[in-house]
Structure 1
């Protein structure tokens, strides 16, 4: 646990300083701490948020949280949404108050000795212009001055900054700083990074409460375009429900801001009652939380400066909550950035690896804004009963908007140093650059069914999936044996990119999945180089030598479809899964050198270090 700021020395050093303790900053801090990075996280707020704010967690984000071992508590406490009115979801979403989501991250961070320092105000930020310092992996080129606030102190940055002295502030020198401090990010403004985009005239109100209503689908996610206006129903944990209501009779002034003092939750409910008609909605006696907002659709012009100060989450993209993307996109920013920072800090990769964070998440944010504009247009359109009407949208089109675009499953990163799109036909049903789909496989030692995703924890390791086909075939077994022999060669990727003083499985987790009948499968068919004792498997794999088969289990009759799901033929393939769960490349069994070439594009050869 870090010492309170008031008892720290006047100057300190840290690997990564995270500014902002919302879901983005907390997940990033958690992931970095778990990876052994010296991280500090500060927040300007005096206390945690008690209620409200973001609450929806999409299927892909659930997969990410599961990979960190964080999903069980959220699944236990949250409301599960398995259907949208007019459409069944492919997977399910979970809604839970942001405060409780943040609590999961905070509790996880404590296990690694990291706690949020608050209320702490960053006063100034400077990046050294010394090129040697910026290029040095061990330097601390970013200087941030911090001031701990007194309880109840008014946040007037200019006044506080004028009163800062060496005696009442701290100078932090960081290798990296990440601004996860929201839509009005101080870090982004300190960097001089612009937000590109526009605001709309679309104003919405949000209320969280326990409803009294005869609306039949109050516990189902409902995007509704009524003849009077649009609203969205989101079931929450316990008996809570969140209702988004479009406020059509609100004028937005030239400043593009709303004076919340002119609104009240009762007024939002009155509008909702009009939209609910002929169904009834009683005015609640108690509101859990409420707000009003104008939809803005903007993306930061850059996600980093000199790859030493970076921004994430709402600090670099703002959009409407209609698709429930905000917190999900933001946490996936953190997921994308965490392993890259860890590799650069360990000196396993050059700083240029961080270029891919800006490229991948920045491109996705631009695609998200395009989706959001369509989403807002749909919600603002007149509802029509059927396709015969010329203008407006149907309820089916509204539901399709969610099932097609929301959920985060279809995110695709473009070709880059860490996305090699060669050889797509080797795994014809996979999309290189998208997340690796799940699937059931059997442990070869005892035929226990396991979900492949449970073998791919977010532990910063690359997962090397060897799919050799049917190794009862001598030709396929020979290819697998050749790969095993290659692992011991000095020029092979395992020896070349694993630090000599690190465990053999520090960088690569190797998983072999054969396609054969259970009755023919035996661990004796696998080279000892690709095996470890099966009892080493507990909650997550702890060894880099594991053997499995793609076959149907004895009891539950599950599995046996992984090769078909991935589109891998009997000739087999090698699939590289990045530390964040995305497919990085696919190679033939005969060309393991291509795997080494892929890693040489962004990893440092440790034998030359």
Structure 2
């Protein structure tokens, strides 16, 4: 029987349980925001190969906002084309169509990136290490208790977690740690111990669709092996995903009776990568694929589509990622949805822990992300049915046609890319003045746009300013500041902004306000006449933070039509952007009272 060493006790603001993509994004984002965070994982080693591998455009934008996209793009493979194959009249399959892999265009990253989960985790781990945060492993949580009497006490540590460390020198020793946390995040996967400990049920169902996955270095005459492929044939369906280092991933539809046991669970002993590849050969006919010397990774799964009944207990324990939703991986949403959950929650926790926001802000995590998960499951049911269904043919007139499948692929493009996700009105989404910027959708992420820095005419993208630093961005579209009447309106806005009664005047100092808000003026004045330092000083913190909507000196870069493309008229407007890049509300230049009303519902000046 193992010897248990006397328990060590500690306190931490946030304890993250699980070091997959969701957990690492949480710990990384919180650490970057200056929060005291601890992360543990039951695995002795991180993922080395396989698992999730697709990064959608919105997630790449988030990586960029953290300064992580260069490494992601360097190590990953970009997918620009989706090829479709369907049954040919002569038997086998033939090319039907090639279309853009990402149908959404309003992004600087109009493509998917594939990189195996272990390499993506490395990006977080290396950057966390630079901040002094390491994953403790192998660590097994054995007990989680919430003291209800303390959950409303801001200074309390109401969550008690017992951890068993198994990294001792001998197998006969086990070190116990008792952690008292203000908040706990369960990012511990589909079979989440945290979720089960809190008695949170998963709602949904398991489908009849069984799929095999295998990663390998291909030797094949299939011509689209370097493109994402959706293949339908009478033998079943297949998806090909190009990977880093010339590898590919094959998703192969299997006959469930061959691999499902009497309890309805997958029995991996009945299958293997060779069996999956044999089925793939029949699906790819008349093209061939040779047996590789080795397989990088493989698995078999039954598609389950479930959402947790709730995402939190007392707004002190939260679940994120696969712990709160499971679905098919073929639309490339799993890792993306998981990291976006964490991205949504992290800034809210940071604001509450810093005393900037009321704890009620945390209620919006479940409101926003559970609704998104439900939409994801609805989409996944439709997409999985189309993908797993038999193809249309002369012998199967009720089958899935290419036109039907392509329409779904393109219709759902905004959703799968992550660019079309829209949060509904809440305490942090107010769509009252949507008419002031008709092409900016309140509740969606702000799109990129080319601009110039007013001081030196250097081209810059609007997204370059949306750094994930846990601050709200106030984009003040000042209009044509060369017009004296318009400049007078801008000065009046600045006066009202800092006047008594304004939320911003309640901060103890300008520096303390700028720790919470980054204010960026964007003028429609021409570059030849604008004087960046003529704008009220409270509206910019640095000379590089004054922008102008114009083309550069050589007329090569920048559109000079940002106001027009975003639907902002000459009178100007203030666009409030949340720390996660989503448009929170819009106000006219004479609408300081609206901005004040918005922020006072959930924030506190400090």
CA offsets per residue over residues 418-469 of structure 1, 9 Å max, x none?
Answer: 0001111100011110000000111010111101111110101000000021
With the length of structure 2 as denominator, give the TM-score of the two structures.
0.92
Q: Of the candidates 452, 468, 473, which is equivalent to residue 463 of structure 1?
A: 473
* 1:198 counterpart = 2:208: no
Structure 2 distance, partners of 1:533, 1:392, is: 57
Q: Deviations over 1:259-291 (max 9, x none)?
A: 111111000000000000011111212100000
CA 1:41–1:532 in 2, change beyond 3 Å: closer, same or farther? closer
Tell me the equivalent position of 1:391. 399
Whether 1:100 and 2:119 are equivalent positions in the alignment is yes
Indicate which of 520, 534, 539 corresponds to 1:530. 539
In the superposition, the TM-score normalised over structure 1's length comes to 0.91
Matched, 1:135 2:116: no
Q: Using the TM superposition, give the Cα deviation of residue 389 of structure 1 relative to its aligned residue in structure 2, in angstroms.
A: 4.8
The match for 1:230 among 218, 231, 237 is: 237
Q: Tell me, which stretches of 5 or more residues in structure 2 are unaligned?
A: 84-97, 105-109
Specify the SS of the correspondent of 2:528.
Answer: helix
Deviates more, 1:169-178 or 1:516-525: 516-525
Residue 385 of structure 1, CA deviation: 6.3
Give runs of aligned pairs for residues 30-69 of structure 1, distance below 5 A. 30-69=28-67
Residues in 2 aligned to 1:531 and 1:29: alpha-carbon distance in whole angstroms? 31
Shift of 1:490: 3.6
What is the distance in 1 between the residues matched to 2:296 and 2:170?
Answer: 26
1:547 aligns with 2:554: no
Are the aligned partners of 2:10 and 2:179 in contact in 1 as well (CA < 8 Å)?
Answer: yes
Q: Does structure 1 conserve the Cα–Cα contact (< 8 Å) formed by 2:479 and 2:571?
A: yes
**Quick one: distance in 2 between partners of 1:483 and 1:20?**
47
Q: 1:486 pairs with 496, 505, 512, which one?
A: 496
- What SS does the corresponding residue of 2:235 show, helix, strand or coil? coil
Residue correspondence of structure 1 range 109-120 to structure 2 within 5 A: 109-120=128-139
For residues 499 and 146 of structure 1, the distance between their equivalents in structure 2, rounded to whole angstroms, comes to 41
After superposition, the C-alpha distances for 1:90-118 in whole angstroms (9 at most, x for unaligned) are: 41110001101000001111121100000
Structure 1 unaligned blocks of 5 or more: 1-5, 155-159, 538-545
Report the CA distance shift for 1:11/1:500 in structure 2 as closer, same or farther (over 3 A). farther
Which of 508, 518, 524 matches 1:509? 518
* C-alpha distance in 1 between matches for 2:445 and 2:510: 31
Aligned match of 1:453 = 463
1:491 is displaced (CA, Å) by 2.4
> Is 1:304 the counterpart of 2:312 in the alignment?
yes
Task: List aligned pairs for 1:248-259, cutoff 5 A.
Answer: 248-250=255-257, 252-253=260-261, 255-259=263-267
Equivalent residues of 2:192, 2:323 under 8 A apart: yes
Q: Deviations over 1:280-338 (max 9, x none)?
A: 11121210000000100000000000000000000000000011100000000010000
State the distance in 2 between where 1:142 and 1:31 align: 21
In structure 2, what is the Cα distance between the partners aligned to 1:328 and 1:56? 8
What do the CA deviations read for 1:228-268 (whole angstroms, capped 9, x no partner)? 21000100011100010010353645633211111110000
1:434 has 2:444 as partner: yes
Aligned-partner Cα distance in 1 for 2:232–2:435: 43
Q: Cα gap change, 1:255/1:564 in structure 2, threshold over 3 Å: closer, same or farther? A: farther
2:188 counterpart residue number: 181
- Aligned twin of 1:406: 416
1:357 partner SS: helix
**Are 1:449 and 1:559, in contact at CA under 8 Å, matched by a contact in 2?**
no
Instruction: Compute the RMSD of aligned alpha carbons.
Output: 2.1
Counterpart among 476, 480, 485 of residue 475 in structure 1: 485
Q: Counterpart in 1 of 2:95?
A: none
In 1, Cα distance between equivalents of 2:467 and 2:245: 30
Corresponding residue for 2:291? 283
Instruction: Tell me the CA shift for residue 493 of structure 1.
Output: 2.7
